Homo-oligomer: A and B are copies of this chain.
Amino acid sequence: MADVAREAGVSHQTVSRVLNDHPNVRPDTRARVEEAITRLGYRRNLVARALVTKRSRTLGVVSFDTTLYGPASTIYGIEQAARTAGYFVSIVSLKTIDTHSVRDAVDYLTEQGVDGVVVVAPQYSASSALESLPAGMPVVAAEGTTHRADVSVVCIDQVEGAKLATRHLLEQGHETVWHISGPPEWLESEGRLQGWRAALEEADRPVPEPLAGDWSPRSGYEAGKSLAAMDGVTAVFAANDQMALGVLRALGELGVPVPEQISVVGFDDIPESEFFSPPLTTVRQDFDVVGRHCIEVLLRQIDVGPTAFERLVVRPSFVVRSSTAPAR
Measured CA separation A218–B275 after assembly (Å): 8
Taking a contact as CB atoms closer than 8 A, the residue among B45, B242, B275 that contacts A217 in the complex is B275
Indicate whether A27 reaches chain B with its CB closer than 8 angstroms: no
Are B275 and A246 neighbours in the complex by a CB distance under 8 Å? yes
A72 within 8 Å of B (CB atoms): yes
A83 to B108, CA, bound (A): 10
Say whether A92 faces chain B, with CB atoms less than 8 Å apart: yes
Which residues of chain B have C-beta atoms less than 8 A from A47's C-beta? 47, 50-51, 56, 112-113
Is there contact, CB below 8 Å, between B67 and A76?
yes
Q: Is there contact, CB below 8 Å, between A90 and B90?
A: yes
A33: CB under 8 A from chain B? Answer: no
A interface residues, how many (CB within 8 angstroms) = 51
User: A283 near B: Cβ within 8 Å?
Assistant: no
A-side interface mostly:
helix
For window 104-152 of A, CB contacts with B under 8 Å fall at 107, 110-113
How long is the Cα–Cα vector from A293 to B314 in the complex, in angstroms? 39
Q: Which residue of B lies closest to A224 (CB)?
A: B275
Q: Are A245 and B272 in contact (CB under 8 A)?
A: yes
A187 at the interface (CB under 8 A from B): no
A91 with B112, Cβ < 8 A, contacts A56-B47, A271-B217 known = no
B242 and A271 within 8 A (CB): yes
Question: What is the CA–CA distance of A107 and B38 in the complex, to the nearest angstrom?
Answer: 13
In the complex, what residue of chain B is closest to A249 when comparing beta carbons? B275
B contact residues around A95 at 8 Å (CB): 80
Cross-chain contact A75 with B66 (CB below 8 angstroms): yes
Partner of A43, one of B83, B92, B107, B274: B107
With A46-B112, A110-B43, A113-B45: A79-B67 Cβ-Cβ less than 8 Å: no
A220 to B274 alpha-carbon distance, docked (Å): 12
**A residues bordering B, Cβ < 8 Å?**
43-48, 50-51, 56, 58, 65-67, 69, 72-73, 75-76, 79-80, 83, 88-93, 95, 107, 110-113, 216-218, 220-221, 242, 245-246, 248-249, 252, 271-272, 274-277, 279
Given contacts A67-B72, A217-B272, 17 further A-B contacts (CB under 8 A): A43-B111, A47-B50, A47-B112, A47-B113, A51-B51, A65-B76, A67-B73, A79-B91, A79-B92, A80-B93, A83-B92, A89-B90, A89-B91, A221-B275, A242-B272, A245-B276, A249-B275
